[in-house]
Structure 1
Amino acid sequence: MPDTPHLAPPPRRRPRNGVRALTAVAVVLAVAAGGSYAAGLGPFARGDDGPDPAAMRQARAFLADWAAGRLPGAADRTTRPDTARDVLQSFTAGLDIEGPRLAAAEKAEEAEDGTLTVPFTAKMPITGLGTWTYESELPLVREKKDGGWKVDWRLSLVHPRLSDTQKFRLEREETTPPKVTDRHGTSVADGSYPSLTPLLGRLADRTGGGPRGAVRLVDRATGETVRTEASFGERPDPAADDRPVRTTLDATWQAAAEKALAQADGKNAALVALRIDNGEILALANSPASGFNRAASGTYAPGSTWKIVTSSALLLKGAVQPDDVVDCPKYLTVGKRFHNVETSEFPGATFRKDFTESCNTAFISLRGKLDEGELGKVARTYFGVGQEWHIGIPTYDGSVPVPKDETEKAASMIGQGRVQANPLIMASVTATAVSGEFHQPSITAGNEDGTRTEPLPDEVVGRLRELMRATVTDGTAHVLADLPGEIGAKTGTAEVSDDQDNNGWLVAHRGNVAVAVVVEEGVTGGGSAGPVVHSLLSAVPEDPS
């Protein structure tokens, strides 16, 4: 099944222990998750400007390694590898950092002595509390031995106030467990749904019942607080009623989702199931269940599942029809050589065959049919991707930047390059594709909705449903063919880096439900995400109540 694309960020992460009451832990650095820089197509891809492209590459490579948890690799890019590795490791554990993002500035600042400084933004999610955001800078120096660039290691690059005399400490306050129910009034806060435990505080924030804590800057010698860097949570409102927060979740679907992720064979994975008619989330699950909410906040290349959006863009322009011949060769070179899974080929294939077999080279060959930035415009205008969503918990809402060159445009056609999504986004994309109308997803009622979209034409919706159904009956999603109902689906396989296996994706719809699953390092979509979706749909009714 030829779904191999090019570059996806999020790394594997280890499960964490539960939150602690009034924890005080000295820390010195936080690690971010979700970056890839290989081939210059990841989220830290450099621009064309800058004092020295090699220096910018080194700075972005350091941030990408740090972000992805490849701490030895990040440390080796510095002038003091041993010290850097110890500091980077201690901060992650001490501040309970999970899934943060590091974004480098487009340009470096050059000093008279030839040293460079690259500003960057750090967004550090602290498990169960919130995200600590700050600005810092990477100093770079040229090595005398070989002329290469290194990050000039110093504590202040981690955070401007980190020093030999001051460090950070995380403090948590013990709070009353929040009261949260599913759509039918069944409690989901009793520990029976592990994936929801890290989210309960967020869901209860509106009543002031969520967790509270702070990051303090403290004196290393005395332990006294110098200042509070970040505070999380609100004091309960004494006047607030004691009614539980009711969510859109369905306890039956949530339980099935938690169980289904066991099919991921212990790999990091995430699942979202939502109603097609209104975007209400029925299940949201992560493996491991504790810590980072990769289902809604992850930043992944969606791989070939993105071909749903690419097909929409092509169909909207009348640039292709399902029965048109669009050849599927083994390779296609656009600045670099792209290929299909196992270098498969389908000479004389129709576009329908290209979709059902997920042919990368065929889709890339159609890139000239779309204008620069048109794919991103379609994603935003019809699917709401990249607009600001308010679902009731923090989310990452996707990004489809205008390609910088033809190679990046080719990669974006197959959900690679700088295209970023997560299971929440791809479940919503699937729901929009088969209904024609975008609904902002929600996990609680009464959320602000500032999204503005247009409906897909009925003809395009009909074509997409036909293509997704054929992918189940005759294509790469055949793993779902034995299930009842008119299931449609799309598989995806997304490259991460040279030293990591591909991420596996599968999106599907049945009745009034759309589902999306990603399995990190799952190799293929049908082989890794397919069994997860099959397990879920086997355990739940064809339609939710």
Structure 2
Amino acid sequence: MRYWGFDVSSTRKRWILSIGALAVIACLGAAIYVLMPRQRGPQAVAGTQTSSAQPTMTALQVGDRFLKSLAAQEMVTAASMTSDRDGASRVLTSVKTMLGASKVATAWTNQAAPAADATEVAQQFQISWTLGADQVWTYPSALTMERAAAGWRVRWDPTIVHPKLTPGHSLGVRQPAAASNAVLDRDGKPLDPTAAPLLASAIKNQVQPPGTPAAGRVVLLDKAGAEVENLFGVEAKPTPPVTATLSAATQKAAQAAVDSVPGAAIVVAIQPSTGGILAVAQNAAAGSSPKALNGLYPPGSTFKVVTAAALLDAGKAGIDTVVPCPGRQTIGTRSIKNADFELPDGPLRTAFAQSCNTTFAALAADLSSGSLPAAAAQFGFAADFEIPGISTQTGRVESARGIPEQVENSIGQGTVQASPFGLALMTATVAKGSAVTPRLFTGVDTVVKTGYQGPPAATVKSLRTMMREVVTVGRAKALSKYGAVAGKTGTAQFGDGTRSHGWFAGYRGDVAFAVLVEDAGSAAPAVAVAGTFLEGT
């Protein structure tokens, strides 16, 4: 047979065919191998690339991460790096909740790297917990790093949290017990701050000054929950109650008095012998602004106490000096009139009791321009006090700029201004016979920025006589049934002069007080409120 141009024998032909068949088979095998996927290793996943192994953290790295998690208060994360994830998580989370720290700080004090063949290594650190009132609890602690099959970890032990947190012990927080009856009145009776709204803030601040929350203690407890040891904080001693100068009974009477009239009404009471503020009350119509303590008003004829003192001090008149009291009188360029009455010539004491404007205006016209401010200063109208918790102002009395202003000032009009607090201080000065330093708490001193000296004893004696006659035979005779009351009425014009406030300022025994009824039209409503107050005390 001829093959590709050659003669081939049968035997050779068989060999050629066999070799060709083997070559075809080899080619098919290669093709199959190329098309089939290669066998993967044990970590290979179909459709993914083989990744390199994650490097194992060193003991130092694990320790750093544990302390950083504690500082961040990520307690579950911190527990995951320990030998007892669940047990560590329970303890760490419980301590975090109990302490309620606003900040945690950690720092190594001795972090040793383990030897290459070591299976454990001890390390020391410091931990600080910032607790209430910016108190920082700092102490040393320690932990042990151990090598496990999966790498380094923290060997869990509750003593990591605190060295004394050994089996059978736990941590606890002891808060100071709330004080009962923290504020007492001057008679030792519990005082409800809401009973004196204008003083409530001052009272509360004395019990717990703002910005100083009560601090607790961290303690070690046994299995029964009994305290074993104080770990942090000082055990607070029972705080003695704060004693206010207020009298609950007097405050109640003052509030009832102002609530007895529909118009705006105010009562302030002071104890002359001690300066203790006994009551400060305003009704709803007077509003919530502390006008009782620092609101300034024309004092009207209550200021005749000061004018009388100036006349007595200057020797211009005595209480028995006979003086005229016409119904109207022109003094300089001012026409002064009384409240629709005139009196025959009589003693100064009678003119005072009946509140004769013309008498006092005429006499004051002969005084120097500085006489009234100097006399007013003897009753505290130029004084300046810092009474903890409240802001007060007694009044403003300046030298007159001429006779017309002097005349008006002498009867509590013109530029003269006074607060209910200031008039209560004025009558307290008369009652005591010397300067009075007002205060709101016993044991908490008032800062006297500008003090004053009371009037001469002879002047005080004369004033007491005249103020008593205001009640026995004068304009406040309605108060004669309430005991030995002394004082002075006042009708004070304001605005365009067609409207008037009503005043009564006086004292009985060791209680001096001032009453204001705004826009009352006359002093009569103030006298009525004073009667209600006196009846309740």
TM-score tier, shorter chain, comes to 0.5 to 0.7
- The aligned counterpart of 2:84 is none
- Counterparts in 2 of 1:409-448, with a 5 A limit? 409-444=406-441, 445-448=444-447
- The aligned counterpart of 2:175 is none
In structure 1, the residue corresponding to 2:355 is in which secondary structure?
coil
- 1:368 maps to a residue whose letter is A
- The aligned counterpart of 1:187 is 190
- Contact preservation (8 Å) 2:193, 2:199: no
CA deviation after TM superposition for structure 1 residue 280, in Å: 0.8
- Contact preservation (8 Å) 2:193, 2:203: no
In structure 2, the residue corresponding to 1:401 is in which secondary structure?
coil
In structure 1, the residue corresponding to 2:475 is in which secondary structure?
coil
- Contact preservation (8 Å) 2:186, 2:243: yes
- Counterparts in 2 of 1:421-500, with a 5 A limit? 421-444=418-441, 445-484=444-483, 486-498=484-496
**Alpha-carbon distance between aligned partners in 2 of 1:266 and 1:244, rounded to the nearest angstrom:** 37
- The aligned counterpart of 1:78 is none
In structure 1, the residue corresponding to 2:401 is in which secondary structure?
coil
CA deviation after TM superposition for structure 1 residue 453, in Å: 2.5
**Alpha-carbon distance between aligned partners in 1 of 2:280 and 2:321, rounded to the nearest angstrom:** 38
- The aligned counterpart of 1:398 is 395
CA deviation after TM superposition for structure 1 residue 290, in Å: 5.1
TM-score by length of 1: 0.58
CA deviation after TM superposition for structure 1 residue 478, in Å: 0.3
Structure 1 residues 199 and 452 mapped into 2: Cα distance closer, same or farther (>3 Å)? closer
Largest Rg, 1 or 2: 2
- Contact preservation (8 Å) 1:197, 1:290: no
**Alpha-carbon distance between aligned partners in 1 of 2:509 and 2:515, rounded to the nearest angstrom:** 18
2:291 is aligned with 1:315: no
Structure 1 residues 472 and 198 mapped into 2: Cα distance closer, same or farther (>3 Å)? closer
**Alpha-carbon distance between aligned partners in 1 of 2:471 and 2:198, rounded to the nearest angstrom:** 35
Q: Deviations over 1:107-162 (max 9, x none)?
A: xxxxxxxxxxxxxxxxxxxxxxxxxxxxxxxxxxxxxxxxxxxxxxxxxxxxxxxx
Structure 1 residues 491 and 198 mapped into 2: Cα distance closer, same or farther (>3 Å)? closer
- 1:386 maps to a residue whose letter is A
- The aligned counterpart of 2:323 is 326
- The aligned counterpart of 1:278 is 274
Structure 1 residues 482 and 206 mapped into 2: Cα distance closer, same or farther (>3 Å)? closer
- The aligned counterpart of 1:199 is 199
In structure 2, the residue corresponding to 1:369 is in which secondary structure?
coil
**Alpha-carbon distance between aligned partners in 2 of 1:198 and 1:294, rounded to the nearest angstrom:** 9
- Counterparts in 2 of 1:2-81, with a 5 A limit? none
- 2:280 maps to a residue whose letter is L
Structure 1 residues 198 and 511 mapped into 2: Cα distance closer, same or farther (>3 Å)? closer
TM-score by length of 2: 0.58
Instruction: Return the structure number with greater strand share.
Output: 2
CA deviation after TM superposition for structure 1 residue 376, in Å: 0.5
CA deviation after TM superposition for structure 1 residue 204, in Å: 3.2
In structure 2, the residue corresponding to 1:537 is in which secondary structure?
helix
- Counterparts in 2 of 1:265-414, with a 5 A limit? 265-288=261-284, 291-333=288-330, 334-342=332-340, 344-380=341-377, 382-392=378-388, 393-414=390-411
**Alpha-carbon distance between aligned partners in 1 of 2:370 and 2:411, rounded to the nearest angstrom:** 15
Of the candidates 496, 515, 518, which is equivalent to residue 513 of structure 2? 515
**Alpha-carbon distance between aligned partners in 1 of 2:462 and 2:391, rounded to the nearest angstrom:** 34
Q: Deviations over 1:185-210 (max 9, x none)?
A: 4333364x2xx22431233335654x
In structure 2, the residue corresponding to 1:389 is in which secondary structure?
strand
Structure 1 residues 269 and 243 mapped into 2: Cα distance closer, same or farther (>3 Å)? same
**Alpha-carbon distance between aligned partners in 2 of 1:283 and 1:199, rounded to the nearest angstrom:** 9
**Alpha-carbon distance between aligned partners in 1 of 2:334 and 2:362, rounded to the nearest angstrom:** 13
2:259 is aligned with 1:262: yes
Taking CA–CA contacts closer than 8 Å with sequence separation of 6 or more, which of the two structures ends up with the larger relative contact order?
1
Structure 1 residues 441 and 269 mapped into 2: Cα distance closer, same or farther (>3 Å)? same
- The aligned counterpart of 1:230 is none
CA deviation after TM superposition for structure 1 residue 413, in Å: 0.4
In structure 1, the residue corresponding to 2:324 is in which secondary structure?
coil
**Alpha-carbon distance between aligned partners in 2 of 1:198 and 1:322, rounded to the nearest angstrom:** 39
- Counterparts in 2 of 1:198-237, with a 5 A limit? 198-206=198-206, 209=209, 234-237=210-213
Moved more, 446-455 or 384-393: 446-455
2:501 is aligned with 1:503: yes
- Contact preservation (8 Å) 1:272, 1:427: yes
- 2:413 maps to a residue whose letter is Q
- Contact preservation (8 Å) 1:179, 1:204: no
CA deviation after TM superposition for structure 1 residue 254, in Å: 0.6
In structure 2, the residue corresponding to 1:353 is in which secondary structure?
helix
Structure 1 residues 190 and 409 mapped into 2: Cα distance closer, same or farther (>3 Å)? closer
**Alpha-carbon distance between aligned partners in 2 of 1:181 and 1:318, rounded to the nearest angstrom:** 47
- Contact preservation (8 Å) 2:268, 2:279: yes
RMSD of the TM alignment (CA)? 2.4
**Alpha-carbon distance between aligned partners in 1 of 2:283 and 2:460, rounded to the nearest angstrom:** 33
Q: Deviations over 1:388-444 (max 9, x none)?
A: 112331112211011122211111101111111112111111121233201121112
In structure 2, the residue corresponding to 1:309 is in which secondary structure?
helix
**Alpha-carbon distance between aligned partners in 2 of 1:255 and 1:353, rounded to the nearest angstrom:** 35
Q: Deviations over 1:357-396 (max 9, x none)?
A: 001111000123321122111211x212122112331112
CA deviation after TM superposition for structure 1 residue 450, in Å: 3.4
**Alpha-carbon distance between aligned partners in 1 of 2:193 and 2:406, rounded to the nearest angstrom:** 47
**Alpha-carbon distance between aligned partners in 1 of 2:336 and 2:495, rounded to the nearest angstrom:** 15
Identical-pair percentage: 34
**Alpha-carbon distance between aligned partners in 2 of 1:490 and 1:208, rounded to the nearest angstrom:** 40
**Alpha-carbon distance between aligned partners in 1 of 2:386 and 2:349, rounded to the nearest angstrom:** 36
Structure 2: where are the runs of 5+ without partners? 1-180, 216-235
- Contact preservation (8 Å) 2:265, 2:517: yes
